[in-house]
Amino acid sequence: MSIKIGILGYGNLGRGVEAAVVKEPDMELCAIYTRRDPGSVNPATEGLVVKPASDLDSAKEDIDVLMLCGGSATDLPEMTPKYAGLYNVIDSFDTHANIPSHFAKVDEAAKKAGKIGIISCGWDPGMFSLNRLYAHSILPEGKDYTFWGKGVSQGHSDAIRRIEGVKDARQYTIPVAESVERVRSGEDPELSTREKHLRDCYVVAEEGVDRDRIVKEIKTMPNYFADYNTTVHFISEEEMKAEHSGLPHGGSVIYAGTTGKDGKRHIIEYSLKLDSNPEFTGSVLTAYARAAYRMNKDGQSGAKTVFDIAPALLSRFSGEELLKMYL
């Protein structure tokens, strides 16, 4: 029997989930749900049904897990508690400060409905969080460092696009190579914001505008750029399309810990190099959809994170197969 999957929201992440689900032999992608006009949505999968999001308002849709592919700013804080009261759900909520309250709301709704709600799934939060937890649990004396990139930050790209005279922009977050090496060597450095990441910006400017003003507005933008070494390159629309249309990302969690009386040093590093951030994130959500389905079948309910989920639940293979294949 297949696990029946629905996707709510058909942006980059929704398409990434779709790409992953259609390749899983034990899953069936039943429908895309959208708040737009369903007729205006064109799924990559031929013949896939597109329905209005309002169809989900009762628990009548025949799906086992609903993948919530909205944004963390305004969509998920409403969506996840709402739909966790009706379906098993998974989201990629990443507003760090609000995770505890989001968890509490989803937990209440999901427990009342007897459903599972997995929140904050993806790679950070998600796989990076797991690696922080494993490392700290194994080596309680130590410190973790997270570096992001090289990769496109959508939030920073959008911030540049809001500047007057900017037609398009793409911002790459890049870890400072020397700092990564210092951490890897076990030096255990204190690193400022500026020492951890660079920001590299590609901008298409409108004709005749003052480029120096745009550069200055970018470099002095508080929170986004002012605390970083930032470089700005002006390029043509053609170059933007040809060379910067992908959404690569990645990064590393590096943990430096010690053991024993004489402080033997151990470095644990987990790193990702992703051609497509939304397709990888969608693949993580898809593996955890299998876990949500199984935990619910097993009688469990409530909010869960990657911390609460035994790794074997992610795989379509049996416990016996896993021992032979991966242990």
Tokens representing 187 are 């030096």
Which residue lies nearer to a copy of itself by CB, 215 or 250?
A: 250
Residues 180-209 that bind a copy of itself (CB under 8 A): 184, 186
Which residue lies nearer to a copy of itself by CB, 36 or 307?
A: 307
Residue 224 DSSP symbol: T
23 binds a copy of itself (CB under 8 A): yes
Which residue lies nearer to a copy of itself by CB, 166 or 303?
A: 303
242 binds a copy of itself (CB under 8 A): no
14 binds a copy of itself (CB under 8 A): no
Q: Are 69 and 278 in contact (CB under 8 A)?
A: no
Q: How many residues does the chain have?
A: 327
SS3 for 23?
A: coil
Residue from 120, 153, 171, 173 touching a copy of itself (CB under 8 A): that is: 120
Residues 123-162 that bind a copy of itself (CB under 8 A): 125, 127, 129-134, 136-141
SS3 for 290?
A: helix
Which residue lies nearer to a copy of itself by CB, 44 or 242?
A: 44
Residue 114 CA to residue 236 CA, distance in Å, equals 54
CB of 100 to a copy of itself, least distance (A): 5
Q: CA 253, 256, 260 angle in degrees (round to 5)?
A: 145
324 binds a copy of itself (CB under 8 A): yes
Extended strands (E) in 124-196: 142-148, 151-152, 166-175
CB of 217 to a copy of itself, least distance (A): 34
Q: How far is CA 181 from CA 18, 138, 196, 271, in A?
A: 37, 23, 11, 14
Distance of CA 156 to the CA centre of its chain: 16
Which residue, among 27, 145, 116, has the nearest Cα to 297 in the 3D structure?
A: 116
Residue from 16, 70, 149, 175 touching a copy of itself (CB under 8 A): that is: 16
SS3 for 130?
A: helix
240 binds a copy of itself (CB under 8 A): no
Residue 51 CA to residue 278 CA, distance in Å, equals 22
Tokens representing 153 are 């930050």
Q: How far is CA 183 from CA 126, 187, 227, 244, 315, in A?
A: 22, 6, 21, 30, 33
Which residue lies nearer to a copy of itself by CB, 215 or 306?
A: 306
Residues 255-284 that bind a copy of itself (CB under 8 A): 259-261, 264-276, 279-280, 282-284
CB of 265 to a copy of itself, least distance (A): 5
The number of residues that bind a copy of itself (CB under 8 A) is 70
Residue from 41, 163, 191, 287 touching a copy of itself (CB under 8 A): that is: 287
Which residue lies nearer to a copy of itself by CB, 47 or 260?
A: 260
Interface with a copy of itself (CB under 8 A): 16, 19-20, 23-24, 44, 96, 99-100, 103, 120, 125, 127, 129-134, 136-141, 184, 186, 259-261, 264-276, 279-280, 282-284, 286-287, 290, 305-312, 314-316, 319-320, 322-327
